[in-house]
Structure 1
Amino acid sequence: MDARRLLAAADRHQVALYLLALAAGISLGAAVPAVAGGLEIVVEPAIAVLLLVTFLGVPLLQLGAALRDARLLLALLAVNLVAVPLIVLVITRPLAGSPDLLVGALLVLLAPCIDYVIVFTALAGGAHQRLLAATPLLMLGQLLALPVLVPLLSGGAAAGLIEAGPFLRAFGLLIVLPLLGAALLQRLAPRLDLSAAMAPLMMLVLLAVTASQTPRVLGAGPALLVLVPVYVGFLVLATAAGILVSRLAHLETASARAVTFSGATRNSLVVLPLALAMPSALAPAAVVLQTLVELVGMVVLVRLVPRLLRDGSRPPAPR
């Protein structure tokens, strides 16, 4: 099988390959904990390259079109900056007695995903191109909201832990540089298509993240188990919120699916470097555990959401 066919096969079986990468990373991190330090260095550059390829798939002219789709943008912002914080406020109350776990959970649950959400939205028949074009706005929104929301919802537990510096660094490294790089490549090589590299790059990121953080997760022991029902509950409630907001906004089916996946999928890979900068080892472990729960949930949602938001169905026009 030549490289082109191999990449095409990887593209067709992305979800299974992502789960395989997770399993391999967990196994490697558990069997050889010494690899954690080396792989942790790989995480941020790998995410940056992944986002470069992601942004390369969006023509710059389409960014303007996405910004003109006011109904979709308002629905995305309503889900991620209004509905999700309310859900998170309620479901994280059982963590109030464990400040380190609470801060880690808040950090990841309040940040909308900007990378593999595109893949899952596409697999579910959602408007993945329009969602992709809106990712810089979503990242900017969380850049402004997280330093306010995390301390507010933590009841003071995050005081002094959330600083502007790491957020600005993450925004520059993981959004600005990839976006500028994609713009430059589109200008110099307009026919360049690296979309086939998305699946292998995502596998590399997931492998590096899980292998580097598994020793931390295992070191935390049973303390992390309380997070599992919180993360599962978030998936259920955020999916319901996405569907409700989409119907209230009278979005067509593909856009409704995009909004639903945007609400349910979180930015664990991009906020992980922020969690790693915190003094507690539990915060990054909480972020990684959310990735594991979420990816299993995505396998269910890519089949369930198309049934809940059927093709050809359109909410009634506003009166």
Structure 2
Amino acid sequence: MQALLEQFQVRIYLITLSIAVVMGLSMPVNLMDALPIALGILMYGMFVQIPFLKFLDILKAPRFLCTILLSNFVIIPLVLSVVFPYFPHHPAIQFGILLVLLTPCIDYVVVFTTLGKGDGKLMLAATPILLILQILLLPIYIYLFLGQSFVAALSIQPFVESFFVLMLLPCVAAVLVQSTQKHRWSQITQSISNALPVPLMALVLFIIVSSNITVVVSDLTLLQQLIPIYIGFMVIMFLINLMLGRSFKLPSNELRTVIYSAGTRNSLAVLPFALALPSQWVLIAITAIVTQTLVELVGELIYVRITPKIHG
């Protein structure tokens, strides 16, 4: 079941998004109250597939590890610092853009990497360290980009609550399931959990898009500002990481993997932080995040066509 869902996940997302747009425009509904529950279960489903107990396996590929960390946590922030002055001048929009573009993907990037002839297993092995580093570094990046006045204007309590309920608890539950894999009940739980991410991601996308599409399309100016930023990001990251991977003399499959890690962002996994914003900013930040997801899905389909032809 898991393999079948992952094989058709892009189609599932596109069909879900199409239905959500049609329903949201024809009979507007507000399902946002269900989002935290769906998102919490989704986060667990994503975390349970991350090999936390094999954290050190990635050290067996030191050049790849250095390249992927340099790209995600040094080069990308530097590139964003150059283009940041051209972002829309609204703190919620800037926060939403930074939230997604500063955090590398930890879930469906593995599937797209495999489809693009990269090393899916190596990408999976890198996910624990990518997750830990982005959680540690994201507050620092936000402070450096948006300044003390923005951070001071935020209430810390909603962020702490979102982190514990929607990130830490699902993460701990996932680690507990992984650490008891010798028990039959744990194996059954793991098997069921592995099938959760695709349908739950589709559900989260449906909730967000169907509930907010009328507001989004009413502000086409915002979309016109966001879409070029996200397209430009994927193009620039492709070119930079192609050169970076070759400069590190990575094998072809590892080079392709670096390209996918840099070009694929952690959009839905950072939604808990957007939900913790002041109420008047939440919808704007969510629009910035969901727009990135839509652009990225199309971009990944293009990546998958190009990357198999790339060699180190």
Equivalent residue in structure 2 for 1:282, among 276, 281, 284: 284
Superposed counterparts of 1:114-263, under 5 Å: 114-155=106-147, 158-160=150-152, 161=154, 163=156, 165=160, 168-169=163-164, 170-184=166-180, 186-189=181-184, 193=191, 195=194, 198-218=197-217, 220-263=219-262
Are the equivalent residues in 2 in contact too, given 1:125–1:257 (CA < 8 A)? yes
Q: Distance in 2 between matches of 1:24 and 1:188?
A: 40
After superposing on structure 2, the runs of 4+ consecutive aligned residues of structure 1 that deviate more than 6 Å are: none
Q: Distance in 1 between matches of 2:26 and 2:134?
A: 36
Task: Count how many residue pairs are aligned between Structure 1 and Structure 2.
Answer: 301
1:245-299 deviations in whole A, cap 9, x for unaligned? 2112222122211111110111111111101111113112111111111111111
Q: Report the CA distance between 1:107 and its aligned residue.
A: 1.2
Q: TM-score, normalised by structure 1?
A: 0.83
Q: Distance in 1 between matches of 2:212 and 2:110?
A: 24
Percent sequence identity is 34
Q: Distance in 2 between matches of 1:95 and 1:270?
A: 22
Q: Report the CA distance between 1:99 and its aligned residue.
A: 2.4
Q: Report the CA distance between 1:37 and its aligned residue.
A: 2.3
Q: Report the CA distance between 1:134 and its aligned residue.
A: 1.6
Q: TM-score, normalised by structure 2?
A: 0.85
Equivalent residue in structure 2 for 1:50, among 31, 45, 53: 45
Q: Determine whether 1:305 maps to 2:301.
A: no
Q: Corresponding residue for 1:65?
A: 57
Q: Report the CA distance between 1:35 and its aligned residue.
A: 3.5
Q: How has the CA–CA distance of structure 1 residues 105 and 198 changed in structure 2, closer, same or farther, with 3 Å as cutoff?
A: closer
Q: Distance in 2 between matches of 1:162 and 1:263?
A: 31
Segments of 5+ residues of structure 1 without an aligned counterpart are none
Task: Please give the root-mean-square deviation of Cα atoms over the aligned residues, in Å.
Answer: 2.7
Q: How has the CA–CA distance of structure 1 residues 257 and 167 changed in structure 2, closer, same or farther, with 3 Å as cutoff?
A: farther
**Secondary structure of 1:33's match?**
coil
Q: Distance in 2 between matches of 1:204 and 1:54?
A: 19
